[in-house]
Structure 1
Amino acid sequence: MMIKNIAVIGAGTMGNGIAHVFAQYHFNVTLIDTNEAALGKAVQTISQNSDRQVSKGMITQATKERILSTLHTTTVMEAGVANAGLVIEAATENKAVKLKIFTQLDELAPPAAILASNTSSISITAIAAATKRPEKVIGMHFMNPVPVMKLVEVINGYATAQEVTNEVVAISTQLQKIPCIVNDYPGFIANRILMPMINEAVYSLYERVAGVEEIDTVMKLGMAHPMGPLQLADFIGLDVCLSILKVLQEGFGNPKYAPCPLLVNMVAAGKLGVKSGEGFYRYTPGSKDLIPAL
């Protein structure tokens, strides 16, 4: 099946990145969001990120113009998915929200369309059960920032058809990404390994084993990580980290996944990391300085 028309639901950080990459690699893309302002901001972000690619010699100015010309936006889901061969949901990491979207997609998207979720932890099998086409539901977990990161975690639900997996792997390769196929268990692979590491780093801070900078420095210099776990948590969003840890804890029933009380309190206080301006570090617009907040 030759898929050329892509619909992306959600104009946030992940959604605009996914739309950007598909448009860059010659797909026709419709970006869907209930918020018109969010769509405008997403197009502006894609334009700015494309300018950055042009300045680095990664794409030409003509490619940037083609990206923007093949990208369409709408607040009407029915119109946005009407001709889609692949729909990728990139809404907030909330199970109830995703189930509602997939119930709608099942009614509105063409019968042959593949329905994918960019979820980082929520069960693909549970999402697929909200539809009458579970064999056509799959996970496509892109990494942030999408235009830069090479990995796509391809998650098979219990009923995902092999030909759907094959098609998604082929499409990921067209995007110059590296697809890794995994099965549907809480956190999949990326977050099942990453989130306990981040949680342990938060516990180390909570128990005053070391400070924010010291914890991150040990992991950067000792383990060759490009970013320390506390800075990475800020980048991901502390609320997202907490949500994923709760999925792991509930899914496995194992106390080792219980989120650190410090993380719980920070999220309750609205200290969410980069997006709120403060997490384990303080963030000033226009500055790259890392200033510990704790």
Structure 2
Amino acid sequence: MSRASRAVAILGAGTQGRRLAFMWSNCGRPVNLIDRDEKQLQASIHEVNTFRSTFPKFKTAQEWGKVSKFPYAQLREALSNAWLVLECLPESLQLKRRIIAELEQHAPENAILASNSSSYTIGEIIAGVQLKRPERTVSMHSYWPPETCPLEIMGHDETDPDIIPSLLEESARHGFQPFHVRRESVGYLYNRVWAAIKREALLTLSEGVSTLQELDDIFKAVLKTPKGPCEQMDVVGLDVVLDIEEHYAQTRSGIPQAPRDLLKQMVAEGNLGVKSGQGFYKY
């Protein structure tokens, strides 16, 4: 079976999983979407079809690849013809470690195993995990496709160097804008810069230097961006932002405490951003 006809298997049919299913199916490639929640799977198929009518520019082949839904109980079958296996699960290190070992157990020997984690590097995830083929593992962090298509691809000390050019080529062919992170880096490329912006925004608010609205407004006025840093954090989810900030604090010295304290207070009050209807702003 040629690589072009082999599936991309995606574990996790949430916001990112369904968007990645759309992207990877736009050149006729089959996608196997896996989740424990049948309602989540059904909603994902519906949203993939919505994307196909909303973003026709991504249709680069005569036919879209078939997106098939698989319950987690059929994991072995879902991975059987996979060229690339991608996990899109919550930011729990222990969960990701357990899952990456299970994915390797059921995936073909020549499949590439990738994590979409935004805060943990693949080196951190596989540390202490007994893998037969650690050289087949990479990080592949996406943003908000199809609206925002950058994709950061990062290996680790043992990654087979031949894998990276292949992933850069295939992802570009499917409509991504790939970037190679050349050394393991917590936060990849963009998120390292974004981390400094959001942390300083939170620190500014905690010190009472500015109102929320003024802070976002001046950011948008100077940089001509559609959203300010607090608006953007609301979209990401303040619980997710907090988890990422906690991880930065664990891996780097000198991270200020006040931004995390502000986030902890908001999360404790149930203000998670857009998904809860209230974050920095009300939705």
Structure 1 length-normalised TM = 0.88
Residue of 78, 99, 102 corresponding to 2:100: 102
Say whether 1:240 aligns with 2:240. Answer: yes
Matches within 5 A, 1:121-136: 121-129=119-127, 130=129, 131-136=131-136
The answer for the alignment partner of 2:67 in structure 1 is: 71
Q: Structure 1 stretch 122-131 or stretch 9-18: which is displaced more?
A: 122-131
Cα deviation for residue 236 of structure 1 reads: 0.9
Distance, in Å, in 2 between the alignment partners of 1:243 and 1:46 is: 28
- Whole-angstrom distance in 1 between the partners of 2:257 and 2:137: 27
For the residues of structure 2 that align with 1:277 and 1:77, how far apart are their CA atoms? 34
The counterpart of 1:15, out of the listed 17, 22, 42, is: 17
User: Hey, what does 2:223 align to over in structure 1?
Assistant: 223
How many residues are treated as equivalent by the alignment? 275
Q: How far, CA to CA, are the matches of 1:6 and 1:80 in structure 2?
A: 9
For 1:73-222, what aligned pairs fall within 5 Å after superposition? Answer: 73-75=69-71, 76-129=74-127, 130=129, 131-144=131-144, 146-182=145-181, 183-222=183-222
1:49-92 Cα offsets, whole Å, 9 max, x none, are 223225xxx367x97xx44x611000121111111010011111
Give the TM-score taking structure 2 as reference length.
Answer: 0.91
Partner amino acid, structure 2, of 1:112: N
How far residue 257 of structure 1 moved from its aligned partner, in angstroms, is: 7.3
TM-aligned CA deviation for residue 256 of structure 1: 3.9
1:234–1:274 CA contact under 8 A, matched in 2: yes
Give RMSD over aligned pairs. Answer: 1.9
3-state SS, counterpart of residue 157 of structure 1:
coil
Deviation at 1:200, TM superposition (A): 1.5
Letter in 2 for 1:250: Q
Deviates more, 1:12-21 or 1:215-224: 215-224
1:32 matches 2:31? no
- Structure 1 alignment gaps of length 5 or more: 284-294
Counterpart amino acid of 1:28? Answer: P
* Structure 2 residues not aligned, in runs of 5+: none
- Using the TM superposition, give the Cα deviation of residue 16 of structure 1 relative to its aligned residue in structure 2, in angstroms: 0.4
* Structure 2 Cα separation of the partners of residues 211 and 51 of structure 1: 40
Match of 2:46 in 1: 44
Task: Tell me the CA shift for residue 191 of structure 1.
Answer: 1.6
Q: Partners in 2 of 1:196 and 1:263 — Cα distance? A: 15
CA distance in 2, matches of 1:59, 1:171: 14
